[in-house]
Amino acid sequence: MDASTSKTEAWTRQDTRAATMGATLAAGALEGAATIAPKEVRRRSVSALPTIETGERGEIVLHHQARERYRRLNVLGEGGMGVVERAEDVDIGRPIAIKRLLPEANHPLGVARFVAEVRIVGALEHPNVAPIHDVGVDDEGRYFFVMK
């Protein structure tokens, strides 16, 4: 047994959720797992800001309408759990990246891993780690997070 194996075993003994997750993965229990389409979660990819125009007499006119906040442009990469896309935050007018959970990873264990990733990355502050700006569920029921 090498040092990394003993560290992993010690960690899983301390955290029963990690041990359960590991056992689930080892047993291949994800075969046929139901996908999660969170109905009770409000979509977070809709803009909260109004569009602003100048009226005929020079007055400011605000238009509140449902529109997508993030404009996805192209795929930057894909892994076993998610896809990262280059995008634009329409409200702020800045380039961003969006990591979206793959449809085949949208099951309880996949979502649990995604949540763990969001919390771990969100807690890090390092020049080589992109900060997370937003999290949510898109109109396809896929979890996502927005990075700088």
Which pLDDT score is estimated for 30?
47
The C-alpha atoms of residue 131 and residue 94 are separated, in whole angstroms, by 14
Helix ranges (H only) for the chain are 3-14, 16-27, 108-123
**Is-contact 50 62, C-beta < 8 A?**
yes
Report pLDDT digits (tens) over 68-82. 889 999 999 999 999
CATH class label, 69-147: alpha beta
Query: Domains of the chain: which residue ranges?
Result: 69-147
Segment 96-129, tens digit of pLDDT? 999 999 999 988 899 999 999 999 999 999 999 9
Q: Exposed, middle or buried: residue 18 (CB in 10 Å: 0-12, 13-18, 19+)?
A: middle
Looking at residues 33-37, what average pLDDT do you find?
A: 50
DSSP, collapsed to helix, strand or coil, labels residue 105 as: helix
